[in-house]
Amino acid sequence: MGTRVKKPVFQKTVEKTAIYLDTVRLLDLLLDVAADFPRMYRFVVCDKMIELCIGMTESAAATYSHRDPEEALEDIGEYLSKLAVLRTLVRKAGERGWIKGLARHADIIELTEGLAKQGSAWRASIAAKAEAAGAGES
């Protein structure tokens, strides 16, 4: 009889987390919006929005990879800061009519609101772990 092959142990990676998947979905929406942006603002505002979203994916990955809750708190804080700036730019772009299609703009707004809730919940979870770790050391 042949030897049995061990099944790989399932490891959850950041690419499978809801916050990461939603951030990548937001990036896709922003890339689609870029084509319709007025040329004068495409390379300033739209590029900044895309850059912020890419930075958010980096911050989510960094947060997920840290074992030290204090370091993870710094990265999730960075994620939420970038998200706040992005939300402001999306709101301004929508007010000025640079994001074509009300449904598209609404999808982006809804997604950023969901990401803010997920990020805040993740930060609270990490802060609780940090507090528990600090209490365990005392």
CA atoms of 51 and 14, how far apart (whole Å): 19
For residue 32, the surrounding DSSP H or E stretch is helix 18-34
Q: State how far the Cα of 32 lies from the Cα of 27, in Å rounded to an integer.
A: 9
pLDDT score recorded for residue 8: 45
The percentage of residues in the chain with a pLDDT greater than 70, rounded to a whole number, is 88
Domains of the chain by residue range: 17-133
Return d(Cα 85, Cα 87) in angstroms, integer.
Answer: 5
pLDDT over threshold 60, residue 137: yes
Contact 66, 72 (CB under 8 A): yes
Give tens-digit pLDDT for 5-44: 555 444 468 888 999 999 999 999 999 999 999 999 999 9
Global pTM value = 0.86
* Tens of pLDDT, residues 78-116: 999 999 999 999 999 999 999 999 999 999 999 999 999
Contact 57, 23 (CB under 8 A): yes
So what's the architecture of 17-133 in CATH? Answer: Up-down Bundle (1.20)
> Which residues have a Cβ under 8 Å from the Cβ of 39 and sit 6 or more positions away?
none
pLDDT in tens, 45-69: 999 999 999 999 999 999 998 889 9
